[in-house]
Structure 1
């Protein structure tokens, strides 16, 4: 029974590592997607609004006027955008640098890559296996591990390879937890039940990530996510060109 519990603990840790790795990949791809393609989506919304407004002004039709108002409303920022993307927007203008560059015809800078390196992934996995809170045998040790893993997760999310190396050295120099002693059968059964519940929760989280819009896109091009962004960018640029031509014809 004790061997079964240990095997279940290790399996859960490996699963948590896989889920957390995918979560970070989804988060980073979402950031790159927003930075690189956000200005194009904004430009498309603006063109849609201008087209609808010109059409409504020419026809005076109530339905066209309503559609123009709806299109213009979509251009307005949604509540919570500043909170969701704080630090990415220009503090004075309230615009992404890429969006400002597009509006002023300046070259658009490439979005910063924040995807963890292979070495960072390796360091993260090693630390997660060694310092995971589920391996603690008492509450004090669990708290120490949880605080440490929180720092590890933050460093990995930023792709900070140097900090992960420092954390690895810190853990190696820290207190070594005592080996788990024999447990009673009731405790082992309870432990297995908790592990099963934790696995079920992680499975739901993994499913939500995979079925999200960004997760689905990332799974389509897991080997070359940047290539997928470039492909989508080309499609959006073509749509922008079409809308600009349509607007020009309406105004002409």
Structure 2
């Protein structure tokens, strides 16, 4: 029987080491801070070494410069940052163009960061986690994995592909104690969405699409990371948690009078 104190500890991460890739700003930064607030020993990794160090200082952890487009660098990180309990990766990019306007370079750029680097991170860190018999891997998908619009095709394909990649990892690593899940945010005020938020009409249109009628702050996504990282989610794997303010639950095009 579970006692009250056990439930109180479900969201604690004391004694666990967490690597957050993309921790220099936005959702990654807030995820690192939230994990640290719940007791985790956080390693804040980012291409921007100064930004990683700044997040690490706030989290009381370690900064780690990491270029996820460099496969060898990922392998080195996996060797150096041994004994991880949690891996969170948030790094992504988007090129907003219609498919016929996409160049091969545009395509390769989005695929490389959003999908190929995710694969390499899962492979490099998931294997050792499985050997130790424990771990939680959390990758960031998007509402665009299920709902698209003109100009989002390649980005959407990567975010849908990431869910399937994590589901496969869940199937392969699950018998050895490693859980793998995705989080799919809606519209969040991050550097990636600065172009949209700079356009008042575009920003307002997006805000009105969700059930809550507003944009999210990065800190509002961090709770989902803490949940999936720890024992509160001990029987959750191969899932995608929508954190989208109801965007994918409602029609959003028109509110009828009755």
Q: Please classify the TM superposition score into its range, dividing by the shorter chain length.
A: under 0.3
More strand by share: 2
More helix by share: 1
TM-score normalized with structure 1 length: 0.20
